[in-house]
Amino acid sequence: MNSLMSSDLDPFSGHLASPFCSQYIVQDYIVWFEVRRHAGVCGTVLTTNRTHAIYSNSLFFYSTSNDSLIPSEAIHFSCVYPLETNAGLNVVIRPQQLEGGLLGSGPKATAYIYLYRDSDFRSRYPPGWVNLTVGSALNVEVSVEERDFSFEVVLERCYTTPSSDPDYLFPDHLIRFGCPIDHHHVIMVENGRARRARFSALLFPVQSDSPYIFLHCSLRLCDDRLNSCVPSCRGRAPRSVPSSAQLDLLSIGPITWIK
């Protein structure tokens, strides 16, 4: 408050890009303005690149010494959120900051992975061990807690290993680049259309001494305002993920077999 008043600005006159968004609270002599993380709310503008979503808005303040309808000061600010859920990037992302503005960063979206007994995704396995008959289907759902409806979940990669180590040298891939490796064994039920992705897979014991398998999946958030988020899997040429966007994984298991 002191910095605003010393600049002849009324700290209680502020509003966001939409003049009707002017609610604030005062705590410890600080005036807090808050806006929901949704594109279009209170004039918030959403821009995205391959790795991040950037929400931008402005705070406008008026002078205490005159009754002008024109704001005396505008403070631009942006908040940056990762799109690649559970991703570890090897570079520091430095989005361009508007001169005189503020820049903040937010957490990654929280992702969950669930296993179902049925292809209708109604009967969920409880947490812990999962017992399967050899050659039976495992139904997998990956979902994200994300309040902005501009984003869809895209399942990029899923594979199994005989141990909980996701870096096992000989993984059995089920999905790569958003597409099933073998359409006879993997059916993509939903991908890139909602804040969840689903697939069904026929699983078999891996070639190792371990009686278990573990499932590992990576995903990202896609801005569906720009183009379709559904992976194109027909006649698709292989591609690689840039080293600057290596993904960590969601993992679940162990899964064992009923003899």
pLDDT at position 126 is 83
CA distance 173 to 168: 12
* Intervals of CATH 2.60.40.4100 along the chain: 110-258
The CATH code that applies to domain 110-258 is: 2.60.40.4100
Structure token digits, residue 16: 């966001």
φ, ψ dihedrals at 150, nearest 5°: -75, -15
Read off the pLDDT of residues 7-53 as tens digits, 9 standing for 90 and up.
767 888 888 888 888 888 888 878 888 888 778 888 888 887 767 78
Q: Which of 185, 159, 184, 191 is nearest to 173 (CA)?
A: 159
Read off the pLDDT of residues 150-194 as tens digits, 9 standing for 90 and up.
788 899 999 988 888 888 888 889 999 999 999 888 999 999 999
pLDDT at position 237 is 46
pLDDT at position 121 is 93
Q: Which of 50, 54, 105 is nearest to 245 (CA)?
A: 50
Task: Select from 2.40.10, 1.20.120, 2.160.20, 2.60.40 the CATH code of 2-105.
Answer: 2.60.40
